[in-house]
Amino acid sequence: MVYYICRLIPTKANKKFKQNRKELQVFAKDIVKTRKKAVEMGADSNKDLLGILLASNSKEIQENGVGLSIEDVIEECKLFYIAGSETTSNLIL
């Protein structure tokens, strides 16, 4: 609880963190939107996680009318990145 409250205090580090987070979110949205357009136009982008996720999401939307939002896709990619980094660092130790 204390940690959460400390994150809300507008310190220099917290402001920088929020600014970096916003920049990363904008950058990630641009990447996902570009790749999503490529998938919708029929480009073969099943060579990486983002391509597979977008192709699967596009198919799910066509079949059921619902799917992941861009924010959800970004969060899934971040989750895989962090999990992979943690797994790799654990193997090194």
What pLDDT was estimated at residue 23?
Answer: 92
Whether 93 is in a domain gets the answer yes
* pLDDT per residue as tens, the chain (93 positions): 555 666 677 888 888 988 998 998 999 999 999 988 887 787 766 678 888 888 888 888 889 988 889 899 999 888 888 888 777 777 776
Whether 12 is in a domain gets the answer no
Whether 60 is in a domain gets the answer yes
- CA–CA separation, 35 vs 45, rounded Å? 8
Whether 41 is in a domain gets the answer yes
State the number of CA atoms in the 13 A half-sphere of 43 facing the CB. 12
pTM for the predicted model, two decimal places: 0.70
What pLDDT was estimated at residue 93?
Answer: 64
Whether 43 is in a domain gets the answer yes
- Residue 78 in contact with residue 88, Cβ under 8 Å? no
Domain extent at residue 51? 34-93
Whether 28 is in a domain gets the answer no
